[in-house]
Amino acid sequence: MEVLYLLVPLSLLLIALIVWIFLWAIRSGQFDDLEGPAHRILMDDDDTPAETGDKNKEQEKS
């Protein structure tokens, strides 16, 4: 029963710490764009790298 005098304040401190971290995450913008990364995976990158484009131009000149 005496252990409750230690465990109850420790659990309250832990809950307060978790709430503080959660509020910090909300304020710092961690949850602003939840769908962007999911859509970014599905998008194709059809752009050619700059090096490849330069080599093609050199080959056309020859």
pLDDT-based confidence at residue 3 (cuts at 50, 70, 90): very high
- List strand residue ranges (DSSP E) for 1-62, in order: none
Q: Where are the domains of the chain?
A: 1-27
Q: pTM of the prediction?
A: 0.55
Report how far residue 62's alpha carbon sits from residue 57's, in angstroms, rounded to the nearest whole number.
Answer: 9
7-61 residue pLDDT tens: 999 999 999 999 999 999 999 988 888 888 788 888 877 666 666 555 566 666 6
User: The tokens of 6 are what?
Assistant: 């230690």
Report how far residue 48's alpha carbon sits from residue 39's, in angstroms, rounded to the nearest whole number.
Answer: 21
| Cα–chain center distance at 51 | 30
Report how far residue 23's alpha carbon sits from residue 51's, in angstroms, rounded to the nearest whole number.
Answer: 45
Which residue type occupies 22?
F
